[in-house]
Chains A and B, each alone.
Chain A
Amino acid sequence: MKSMQRPGLPVLFAGAILFASVLVALVGNVFTPHAVTDQALLSRLQPPAFMGGQAEFPLGTDRIGRDMVTRLVAGLQMSLSVALMGTLIGAVFGTLVGFAAAHFRGLVEEALMMLVDFQASLPFILIALTLLAFFGNSMVLFVILMGMFGWETYARLARGVVLSARAQPYAKAVEALGAGPGRLYGLHILPNIASALIVQVTLTFPQIILLETSLSFLGLGIQPPNISLGQILGDGRDYLSTAWWISVWPGLLIFLITLSMSILGDALRDRLDPMLKTRTS
């Protein structure tokens, strides 16, 4: 029954890219000779080394002569960690809401699900812009904002799977043994529904990266001196025709990371989703 198929080439590729991104984000800045803020005004807008630029700046420089490699590494660090934090906050909060709705039923459930519907019918980017406009931009607020993205999908998903898991005889048996809600949900239901939630995480993570990128591109996200990929992308906006590399490198990174995450998510779903599992076995 447990014949584990070898993952396909795209999945291996996606895994390799994600692994490399995380590795670069973690240790990449050790190897870059320049500091993030080092400016070299004499070497402004240098093209990448392989296109006739200087060997000192392998991927070129930006409008005030900062090394693209150094900035990309720093941007990657920031983008990944913000997205990770945001995903975690959203997943935990949404899942808790879903569990609460499924546990209490009745009025509590209706109120919570109303909130979910409310969130789902507002364009998130509008909420984000409004909040940022009113409260100004701080790192903490921004991360919390990212966390608010997608919680409603977790809440809906968790409520559904918890309800169906609770109807299973094993959950009833545990209840009949006299277990409290903590034991029932934490020890029995959560491990059994975790796969569905994990799949959802892989689906929201790319969306959060894209959201952070869009906001930073608009200048409303990560603020200098902090750097994110979207911010570098936005920096290059005015130079697209003369110095494309400023925008293309971060864009390429964002594209590769979100695509890999989506591919991995699909593969995970194929492997973990019980509905699909019964179909193939």
Chain B
Amino acid sequence: MTGSLLQIDNLSVPLPKGADRPFAVQDLSLTLNRSEILCIVGETGSGKSLTALAAMGLLPKNLPRATGRIAFEGTDLLQIPEAERMHLSGRRLAMVFQEPIASLNPVYRVGDQVAEVIGLHSDLSAAQIRQRVLDLFTEVRLPDPQALMRAYPHQLSGGQCQRVMIATALAMDPALLIADEPTTALDVTTQAQILQLMLDLRRQHGTGILFITHDFGVVAEIADRVAVMRHGQLVEIGPAAQILRDPQADYTRQLIAAVPRLDPRPPGRSFGAAVLAATGLTKTYHTRTLFGASRRVEALSKVDISLRRGETLGLVGESGSGKSTLAQCVIRLVQPDKGDVVIDGGTFTGLRGRALREARRRVQIVFQDPYTALDPRQPIGRAVAEGPLIHGLPRAEAWARALDLIAAVGLDPASAKRFPHEFSGGQRQRVCIARALAVRPDLLIADESVSALDVSVQLQVLELLAEMQQQFQFGMLFITHDLRVASRICDRIAVMRRGRIVEEQATQTLFADPKDPYTRDLLAAVPGRDWRDGPRHKEPADG
């Protein structure tokens, strides 16, 4: 309970020559006490993950040597020989990564993988190890631990895999747990459970947790203290309450201001004519194994949605709820089994060949990952001009429209001849929006379009979308897993679960008075929702 568990002094991790800055982590000093949760917050490229990797001795081998001191229980982890550190890691310090499914070996049973760690670091008998694994699985609250021990990773959900990873990390009852974005890849309800699990661990075992995240909501849920990093440097460190409510540094203030809040858009905007009417959309996937056993997944079952000009309909749901399938059916990148899509009064579902290609102008999509959504070998100006060209605009006019749009989305028209890899993620997403808008669509589908972006960029892109909607009056189908984002931009929200819409309401009504129990669960799971509204109910650090 006393003294620091991990003390980092003047840690610098140099980058190889030719990188965008000389140090990935520069002159970083911080301490983590026993049974304390310290959150390191930062945006992409802030060096927060490398700090964690440095502590675990897992820095990429192609980086120059790190300098400074990382003292763990008095031992400098940077100085001790490899063998000694390997002995420590797994035993006294353990790590949980972002991608739980990728961190497990797919060809071994999960029980055996946890047992392996225990076997490596102790001389328990096989039966004792089995018992220990069972205890751990029970402790991380995996359902039916007996049966799950014999399961393979692909048979578990993402949340269950992360629980197995946490069980592995806890196998030797470490003093320090480093968690690198452990909940980022999970659904909100699962995330809430994992965060609760972390809090319980700290209370029961006194584990010190170094928790790396980009999400201030998560920080508000679990952090005792917060360190904010930017460009490899520590911006500010302090108790969670102080950082969250009264940040000192400008950068922290900007970050916190950019965090999407549950801030339902007020009703009362007026909309134009109906632009989308989808009725009875149904899509069933059949997966067949090698031996003919087939599994039916109802991705969509009899879904109806409608949308008017200038209106934004949010589709909210967890992974596998069918929200992306719905979008792909509306835009006909996937053919629905049943149901009709009517866009602007014209049927869209029955069209084929040339007629379909003509009609595609009316509905456009912006994808989640801006890094794969642009042809890497096409300059961005040509990407934006391509749609108008396809639909018969003369070359010069198409180019002029592309330049206009590039300027409208906040990029320099002079950069039109540059290739996608020369732009940042947020800039690329702007290009994608420009490309979609270049054909003057009546309906724009934003499929998790801001999910892959940093919060500050997220906010800008959301504002851009709203502004463009104001200007062009298209209907927008906004798909997201993040209720906070949805609340800000959507006029109505439809909550999806298992291929059905469980509840559809005007945004304000939905947040004020959710009818469906699942909606209530989703709302309750939003991280950090109490943070701005009232005092936080959190366990004291010493439990």
**Which residues on A are within 8 Å of B, measured CB to CB?**
1, 3, 168-170, 172-180, 183, 187-188, 191-192
Contacts and interface: CB of A to CB of B under 8 A. Distances in A.
A124 B359 CA distance: 49
A179 B367 contact: no
A182 to B, nearest CB: 11
Nearest to A274: B376
A177 B375 contact: no
Interface string B358-372: 111101110111001
B512 interface: no
Contact of B367 (A169, A175, A191): A169
B377 A177 contact: no
Q: Which of B18, B333, B357, B364 has the most CB of A within 10 A?
A: B357
Contact of B364 (A3, A176, A188): A176
16 contacts: A169-B368, A170-B373, A170-B374, A172-B333, A173-B373, A173-B374, A175-B333, A177-B386, A177-B387, A178-B361, A178-B391, A179-B357, A179-B390, A188-B375, A191-B377, A192-B377
B354 to A, nearest CB: 8
B377 A180 contact: no
Interface residues of B, number: 30
Contacts of A179: 357, 386, 390
B372 A169 contact: yes
Given A178-B358, A192-B375, A173 B391 contact: no
A3 B369 CA distance: 26
A180 B357 contact: yes
Contact of A188 (B359, B365, B378): B378
A178 B388 CA distance: 10
A176 B372 contact: no
Contacts of B432: 173
A163 to B, nearest CB: 15
Contacts of B453: none
Contacts of A183: 390
Given A173-B432, A173-B435, 9 more contacts: A175-B333, A176-B333, A176-B363, A176-B364, A177-B364, A177-B439, A178-B357, A178-B391, A180-B357
Contacts of B378: 187-188
Contacts of A168: 372
A173 B373 CA distance: 7
Q: Which of B358, B378, B439 has the most CB of A within 10 A?
A: B378
Contacts of A180: 357, 390
A22 B77 CA distance: 59
Interface of B: 18, 331, 333, 357-361, 363-365, 367-369, 372-378, 386-387, 390-391, 421, 432, 435-436, 439
A199 B387 CA distance: 32
The 4 closest A-B pairs by CB, nearest first: A178-B360, A169-B373, A178-B357, A169-B367
Contacts of A3: 18
A168 B391 CA distance: 23
B439 A178 contact: yes
A177 B373 contact: no
Contacts of A187: 378
Contact of B375 (A1, A170, A176, A178): A170
Contacts of B435: 173, 177
A213 to B, nearest CB: 37
Q: Which of A172, A178, A179, A180 has the most CB of B within 10 A?
A: A178
A278 to B, nearest CB: 13
B436 to A, nearest CB: 8
Contacts of A173: 365, 367, 373-374, 432, 435-436
B387 to A, nearest CB: 4
A178 B421 CA distance: 25
A177 B438 CA distance: 10
A172 B436 CA distance: 12
B377 A176 contact: no
A236 to B, nearest CB: 49
A260 B262 CA distance: 64
B479 to A, nearest CB: 14
B197 to A, nearest CB: 34
A175 B363 CA distance: 12
Contact of A176 (B18, B360, B421): B360
A168 B387 CA distance: 18
Contacts of A170: 372-376
Nearest to A167: B372
Contacts of B333: 172, 175-176
Nearest to B387: A177
A176 B365 contact: yes
Nearest to A3: B18
Contacts of A188: 375, 378
B372 A174 contact: no
A174 B375 contact: yes
Given A168-B372, A191-B377, A174 B386 contact: yes
A168 B369 CA distance: 10
A166 B331 CA distance: 16
A192 B374 CA distance: 12
A10 B121 CA distance: 48
Contacts of A192: 375-377
A200 B525 CA distance: 52
A169 B391 CA distance: 21
A176 B373 contact: no
Nearest to B18: A3
Contacts of A174: 375, 386
A122 B280 CA distance: 52
A192 B421 CA distance: 14
Nearest to A177: B387
Contacts of A172: 333, 365, 367
A169 B373 CA distance: 5
Contacts of B369: 169
Nearest to A181: B357
A173 B390 CA distance: 13
B357 A176 contact: no
B481 to A, nearest CB: 18
A19 B390 CA distance: 42
Given A172-B333, A172-B367, A173-B432, A178 B387 contact: yes
A183 B357 CA distance: 12
Contacts of B331: 176
Contacts of B364: 176-177
